[in-house]
Amino acid sequence: MKGAPDRMLPKLLTLVAISKEDKLAPFVENLLDHKDGDIRVKAIATIGHLHTERMVPRLTEIALHKALLKTKKLKEQQITAVKALAEIGTDEARGALQQVAEKGPTELRKLCHELL
């Protein structure tokens, strides 16, 4: 995925998610800071599909991110991060969901309670 054109990244991320090949997780992790918000969302979802437990702190950070101007894209990233935590499903991920349910943005709290 390194060096792949941006237009190919969504398709590559879909293939990685389908493959469940956790060895590709480091490449996906690099895309969490991509300039394109759609690619960031896809990367977050892929981390969940790969059950990449070491990314739980980063997903929690994304879900709890506070911004003066909350854009539609940021909200989508936060919702996707919460769903990824649920998909990872480990004790650490469930603990992160609980944290977001208690301290996160109001619109995410209900979703977290549903996923716990």
Nearest to 44 by CA among 76, 72, 19, 66: 76
pLDDT in tens, 97-111: 999 999 988 889 999
Q: Which helix (H) or strand (E) element contains residue 96?
A: helix 91-103
Residue type, position 51, single letter: H
Cβ count within 10 A of residue 82: 27
Q: 3: phi > 0 → left, psi -120 to 50 → alpha, else beta; which?
A: left
Q: Domain 6-115 is of which CATH architecture? A: Alpha Horseshoe (1.25)
pLDDT in tens, 68-86: 777 899 999 999 999 999 9
Cα(88)–Cα(109) distance, integer angstroms: 18
Q: Provide the residue ranges of all domains of the chain, joining segments of one domain with +.
A: 6-115
SS3 56: helix
The structure tokens listed for 80 are 């996707």
- The pTM of this model reads 0.90
